[in-house]
Amino acid sequence: MFTITELSTERINSIVTEALAFANGKTAKIEGEVFCSNLFFEDSTRTKTSFDIAERKLGLQVVPFDASNSSVNKGESLYDTVKTIESLGVNLVVIRDKKDRYFDELKNIKIPVINGGDGTGNHPSQCMLDLMTIYQEFGKFEGLKVGIVGDVKHSRVANSNAEALRKLGAKVYFSGPEQWFDEGALINGTYLNVDELIKEVDVLMLLRIQHERHDAKMSFSASEYHRKYGLTKERERAMKKEAIIMHPAPINRGVEIDTDLVECERSRVFKQMQNGVFARMAILKEALEKQGYTFK
């Protein structure tokens, strides 16, 4: 699974259903000795550990791979590295890489490659866990209003989510600094002023301010961002009664969201992390079953 674009709504529904089953206590253990490895060429606590635990819960053997000590440091291409891992007998890999669509150069790899995030493009497993979290709450996507606030254009998560939600019948709104929203950013949703957006939506997805991606463009301070576009206590009070707050984390406390709201009643921030393990179990299981592996 590389992108959300490739997924039909049927397949999304099937993965969400399986993920919710895992969340409700279903277990599955792979039959036989199956090896996997997580090739993360970019920092990540959440995604890597989440996949790691999902793999162990499915009974896979996780072979450690340390990108910083790998032969990539000797100039080896991604293809040669993955082909090596495949040759060594690893049966599935999860990859995160800084390069957009890194998977295009992996066409000759025969084992399943799960996309753990590529550049600013796709992050399908995060998308699935977000969808699962929304479905868990509302039991549907059709007709829901979802607001995404932040740097949509440079966010893997926002792009995948907006596309999938639109496909599933939700209405997507965006907000944040206007200079971040040129035409390219608005394919899957409509721009609203943040205060309007907050009153309107059932789901408020806050994005992380990615200082590391656009320092030059950041013409405002963290506290200025918070005041203008962040979820302040005042804005939270303006939300609809049943509306929920989501954030892919890591959170910049006091920037995207007031620190006291991170664990407030309508926050699903840590619930998303819990769900992440179940969503990834569903994604991994689907990929392995397609290869003929069975579970008990």
- Residue 173 or 225: the one with the smaller Cβ distance to a copy of itself is 225
What's the min distance (Å) between Cβ of 89 and a copy of itself?
Answer: 6
How many whole angstroms separate alpha carbon 180 and alpha carbon 191?
11
- The stretch near a copy of itself (CB under 8 A) out of 113-121, 167-175, 182-190, 266-274 is 266-274
Q: Is 74 annotated as a binding residue?
A: yes
The one among 35, 138, 181, 220 contacting a copy of itself by CB under 8 A: 35
Tokens 């390219």 correspond to what residue?
184
Count residues near a copy of itself (CB under 8 A): 55
In 58-123, alpha helices (H): 78-87
- DSSP structure class, residue 115: E
How many whole angstroms separate alpha carbon 48 and alpha carbon 39?
9
Hey, which residues does 253 pair with through a beta bridge? 257
Best CA proximity match to 242, nearest among 116, 113, 95, 144: 144
How many whole angstroms separate alpha carbon 285 and alpha carbon 288?
5
- Residue 143 or 270: the one with the smaller Cβ distance to a copy of itself is 270
Backbone angles phi, psi at 247, to 5 degrees: -160, 135
Identify whether the C-beta of residue 176 lies closer than 8 Å to the C-beta of residue 166: no
CA–CA distances in Å: residue 95 to residues 87, 88, 255:
16, 17, 30
What's the min distance (Å) between Cβ of 38 and a copy of itself?
Answer: 9
The one among 251, 264, 266, 286 contacting a copy of itself by CB under 8 A: 251
The one among 277, 282, 284, 288 contacting a copy of itself by CB under 8 A: 277
The one among 8, 24, 68, 219 contacting a copy of itself by CB under 8 A: 68
How many whole angstroms separate alpha carbon 231 and alpha carbon 228?
9
Is the backbone of residue 101 left (phi > 0), alpha (psi -120 to 50) or beta?
A: left
Best CA proximity match to 256, nearest among 151, 162, 168, 158: 151
Q: Give me the 210-249 binding string for a copy of itself, x by CB under 8 A, dash otherwise.
A: --x------------------------------------x
- Residue 197 or 205: the one with the smaller Cβ distance to a copy of itself is 205
Does position 187 interact with a copy of itself (CB under 8 A)? The reply is no
The one among 33, 105, 195, 242 contacting a copy of itself by CB under 8 A: 33
Backbone angles phi, psi at 19, to 5 degrees: -60, -40
The one among 14, 70, 120, 232 contacting a copy of itself by CB under 8 A: 70
Q: Is 27 annotated as a binding residue?
A: no
Binding-site residue ranges for L-aspartate: 74, 156, 208
Where on the chain is the footprint of a copy of itself (CB under 8 A)?
33, 35, 37, 40, 43-46, 48-50, 52-53, 56-57, 61, 63-77, 80-81, 83-85, 87-90, 108, 212, 249-253, 262-263, 270-271, 273-274, 276-277
Binding-site residue ranges for carbamoyl phosphate: 46-47, 96, 123, 126, 249-250
